[in-house]
Structure 1
Amino acid sequence: MLALAAGVLLYYQQVYAYYTAVQADAQDVRLTNLVTGQPEPILFENFQGIDADSSPLRYRACFTTLTSQATLTETYLIRDDAEPRVAPGWFDCFDAAQIGEDLTTGDAIAFLGVENITYGIDRLVAVYPDGRAYAWHQINECGEVVFDGDPVPEGCPAQPESQN
Structure 2
Amino acid sequence: MNGKIIGGFLVLSALVAGAAMYYLQVYAFYRPVEVSSPAAAIRLVSLGGVQEAMLTSDFEAIDADSSPLRFRGCFVTPMTLAMLSETFETYEDPTPLNAPPWFGCFDAERIGADLETGAALAFLSEKNIHPGVDRVVAVYPDGRAYAWHQLNESAEK
Normalised by the length of structure 1, the TM-score is: 0.85
Letter in structure 2 aligned against 1:12: Y
Match of 1:121 in 2: 133
Q: Percent identity, aligned pairs only? A: 54
Bigger radius of gyration: 2
Match of 1:33 in 2: 46
| Aligned residues: CA RMSD | 1.1
- 1:142 counterpart SS class: coil
Q: C-alpha displacement at 1:80, in angstroms? A: 2.6
Counterparts of 1:39-58 in structure 2, within 5 Å, are 39-58=51-70
Q: C-alpha displacement at 1:133, in angstroms? A: 0.2
Match of 2:8 in 1: none
- 2:154 counterpart SS class: helix
Counterparts of 1:1-164 in structure 2, within 5 Å, are 1-25=12-36, 28-35=41-48, 37-145=49-157
Letter in structure 1 aligned against 2:22: Y
5+ residue gaps, structure 1: 146-164
The Cα offsets for residues 47-92 of structure 1, whole Å up to 9 and x where unpaired, read as 0100001100000000001111111111100113101001010011
Q: Could you tell me how far apart the structure 2 residues matched to 1:121 and 1:80 are?
A: 14
Runs (4 or more) in structure 1 with deviation over 4 Å come to none
- 1:101 counterpart SS class: helix
Normalised by the length of structure 2, the TM-score is: 0.88
Q: Could you tell me how far apart the structure 2 residues matched to 1:133 and 1:8 are?
A: 33
